[in-house]
Amino acid sequence: MKLITILIIATAANIDNLGISIAYGLRANRIPFRFNFIISFISTGCAFVSIFAGGMLADVLSKSASNLIGGILLILLGLWVVIKSSSPSQGCTNKMDSIHWKESIVLGFILALNCLSIGFGAGITGVEPYLTSVAIGIFSFISIMLGVRLGEHIGTSWLGQQAERIGGILLMAIGLFEVFI
């Protein structure tokens, strides 16, 4: 059951990556392999640090208190993502023709902010930090690669427009799972 939780966390942590890379694809911008790797590496590192920090806090709390606090944090984060995705200012405003290594580093840290909060909440619930961090990094790489391609083809579809909201709903579902199970 923990493997399913790790996979869901990795997916939810990378919904923003998918949405932003779809926006890049819509503008016919590419994110080369090496820059995608940099972004994914940053996500992996930030996820590990936040999961580890959440796990340390969980050591001082009981298992049920840890699951309750972590679950509530994930639910609140998911709710915030859903509300944020409903705002009219949604979308990527970057108008660059191509991505460069400096932009990949900045983009990596921006996208990793989502991993920090998700990782901290997940760490409190007791997920395994190494496997979860690596899963987040792999899913980051895949979501960026697929997002650019999807943006070129179907980025204006319902799925492309709802990607962030779907991620928020996934986070709330994980939080409810951790609180009640």
pLDDT at 181 over 70: no
pLDDT category at 109 given cuts 50, 70, 90 is confident
Q: What's the pLDDT score for residue 92?
A: 45
- As a whole-number percent, the residues of the chain with pLDDT over 90 amount to 23
Which letter does DSSP use for residue 28 in this model?
T
Q: What's the pLDDT score for residue 95?
A: 45
pLDDT category at 86 given cuts 50, 70, 90 is confident
Q: What's the pLDDT score for residue 132?
A: 94
Determine the Cα–Cα distance for residues 146 and 110; give it in Å rounded to an integer.
19
pLDDT at 172 over 60: yes
Q: What's the pLDDT score for residue 1?
A: 63
Please report the sign of the dihedral spanned by the C-alpha atoms of residue 31, residue 34, residue 38, residue 43: positive
Residues 41-45, mean pLDDT to the nearest whole number: 94
DSSP characters over 61-100: S-HHHHHHHHHHHHHHHHHHHHHHHTSTT-S-----SS--
Flag whether the pTM goes above 0.75.
Answer: no
Higher-confidence position of 164 and 18? 18
Q: What's the pLDDT score for residue 145?
A: 93
Residues 152-179, mean pLDDT to the nearest whole number: 73
Residues 112-125, mean pLDDT to the nearest whole number: 81
